[in-house]
Structure 1
Amino acid sequence: MTDATSLTDKVAIITGGAGGIGSETARLMARRGAKVAVADINLAGAQEVADAIGEQAIAVELDLGSETSIRDAVAKVVEAFGKIDILHNNAALAGRTLALDGSIGDMPTEVWDQIFAVNCRGTMLMTRECLPHLIATQGSIVNTVSGLGLQGHVRQAAYSATKAAIMQMTRSIATAYGPKGVRCNAVAPGLILTPTTAKDFPDHWRRNVEAETPRGIVGAPEDIAEPVAFLASDAARNITGQTLASDGGVSIHVPGFSSYAKTAWD
């Protein structure tokens, strides 16, 4: 019997592939048989990931803020591998700009605009440029969104709004291009301890998140790579337009869960 989760003979582009969720997804898809394009603004980091994977991977420089860069990256993948079967829209703005993303009342306009330009506009452009190739291969798109697109927070208002927008984009793409054979889904992580997050996230904040997580621990990059690879595979052929929360259960419970959990079984 054929393994429907196999990605043998598939070609995948993973944006934000140089680290964290992206690099773990690239490695997993390669282990399942795919040829992978590790696309990132950090070309050296993408090359390191591609080199570790081996000859079935290439590194591609990609700046989601540049329409020219997006076109060039897609063209390079098609030139190298001849087609595109899977697009994993995973990249998002990080660094200093994201650190300035607070609440609406003190939101600098340029911060809002830059986060939307990369996260939302960049995802749209990447999808638009890949769609002709995905239609040709009856391919699949998986978008990385966030639990912050489902719930309110005291900060990261712009980032949260972009992720909510990408969830709606996911439904729109699935509806418009399903008749052409293209599926589109999203995975919404909770807190994921990537190397960058682990370095910058205070221990007391992590403990607060763990207390609100029915699973009891925060996620790791492989906890997102697995559902992404599943949704990209033929095993998920009847699933489209959906957002799958992979957050250990943070988004499912009533307020005050951590307090209730301490006494529920007394």
Structure 2
Amino acid sequence: MKEAQHVNQTPTSLAEQLVIVTGAARGLGAAISRAFLGQGAKVVINYNTSREAAEALAAEYPAQALAAQADIRDPEAVATLIRTSADHFGQPVTTVVNNALVDFVFNGDARSKADEISYAELAGQFEGSVKGPLNVIQAARASMAEMGFGRIINIGTNLFQHPVVPYHDYTAAKAALLSLTRTFADDLGPSGITVNMVSGGLLQTTDASAATPQEVFDGIAAGTPLRKVTTPEQLADAVLFFASDWARGVTGQNLIVDGGLVKG
């Protein structure tokens, strides 16, 4: 492995960036990883339990990708992840995408309704969707500040504006992450670090939505101006935008990518 060289050189293109995508082995995370890899970036494919899928993806890009295990809820594991990534590629981490979703199943019939949900369920989602990103951001912040450059992109949901399924714990945790996105944008902005969120709805298709009946997809498509359901690749395009120099003047924003289903 190369020894990390922490130099004050600002990356000017996606191809110069070192990106960590959490929960990157499958579904949306894999699509985001492929999008960065396609632009020539170096990508750390973080996983918790999906080792085989992460290593298979990394093997497709042996010079650019590294599969790395870490439970994002563990701050020591995350600190090790940041160090290992920088050492392996010989440069500091420039960009993090907080995509990992911990212990959640997208099945409205199986989720607790308002009269039965416990705070423990809410707290469990806060561990993954708030504590996890907090750990990653704090571990990567120092080297980003040293460079005067950093891109933090959090993955949210359009359920803030369109709460049509009882994912109370998931939606509350992602709402808290949106608040963190905006307050951290102000706090980290003077160091040259931008913090933004990309929020999607039901995507066609990921592991989470694979069991969704086609009539549900058709109904969602009919309600959008584009008459289409968003794909993971389309959402990944928006993540690339926030990481790119095209978004150098944008921070603290939440971009909804759902074909126009939700406004605002």
Provide TM-score, normalisation by structure 2.
0.88
Q: Is the 8 A contact 1:149 1:162 kept in 2?
A: no
Question: 1:94 Cα deviation (Å)?
Answer: 4.4
In structure 2, which of residues 218, 231, 234 is the aligned counterpart of residue 207 of structure 1?
218
- Residue in 2 that maps onto 1:109: 119
Question: 1:136 Cα deviation (Å)?
Answer: 2.1
In structure 1, which of residues 90, 108, 129 is the aligned counterpart of residue 99 of structure 2?
90
Distance of aligned partners of 1:96 and 1:27 in 2 relative to their CA distance in 1, 3 Å threshold: closer
1:239 maps onto 2:250 in alignment: yes
Cα separation, 1, equivalents of 2:177 and 2:83: 24
Distance of aligned partners of 1:5 and 1:146 in 2 relative to their CA distance in 1, 3 Å threshold: farther
In structure 1, which of residues 46, 53, 58 is the aligned counterpart of residue 54 of structure 2?
46
List structure 1 runs of 4+ shifted beyond 4 angstroms: 94-100
Provide TM-score, normalisation by structure 1.
0.87
Q: Is the 8 A contact 1:17 1:46 kept in 2?
A: yes
Unaligned runs of 5+ in 2: 1-10
Aligned length: 250
Q: Is the 8 A contact 2:23 2:99 kept in 1?
A: yes
Q: Is the 8 A contact 1:98 1:115 kept in 2?
A: no
Unaligned runs of 5+ in 1: 254-266
In structure 1, which of residues 182, 189, 200 is the aligned counterpart of residue 200 of structure 2?
189
Identical positions, percent = 28
Q: Is the 8 A contact 2:105 2:208 kept in 1?
A: no
- Residue in 2 that maps onto 1:59: 67
- Residue in 2 that maps onto 1:159: 170
**Which letter does structure 2 place at the counterpart of 1:147?**
N
1:28 maps onto 2:35 in alignment: yes
- Residue in 1 that maps onto 2:5: none
Cα separation, 1, equivalents of 2:184 and 2:244: 18
Alpha-carbon RMSD across the aligned residues, in angstroms, is 2.1
Question: 1:71 Cα deviation (Å)?
Answer: 1.9
Cα separation, 1, equivalents of 2:75 and 2:25: 20
- Residue in 2 that maps onto 1:258: none
Q: Is the 8 A contact 2:28 2:206 kept in 1?
A: no
Task: Tell me the alpha carbon deviations over residues 95-139 of structure 1, each in whole angstroms, 9 at most, x when there is no partner.
Answer: 459775333322133322211111111111111111112212311
Task: Tell me the alpha carbon deviations over residues 160-190 of structure 1, each in whole angstroms, 9 at most, x when there is no partner.
Answer: 1111111111111110010111011110112
Task: Tell me the alpha carbon deviations over residues 31-74 of structure 1, each in whole angstroms, 9 at most, x when there is no partner.
Answer: 21211101111222211111112211101102123222222212
Cα separation, 2, equivalents of 1:26 and 1:96: 22
Cα separation, 2, equivalents of 1:189 and 1:47: 26
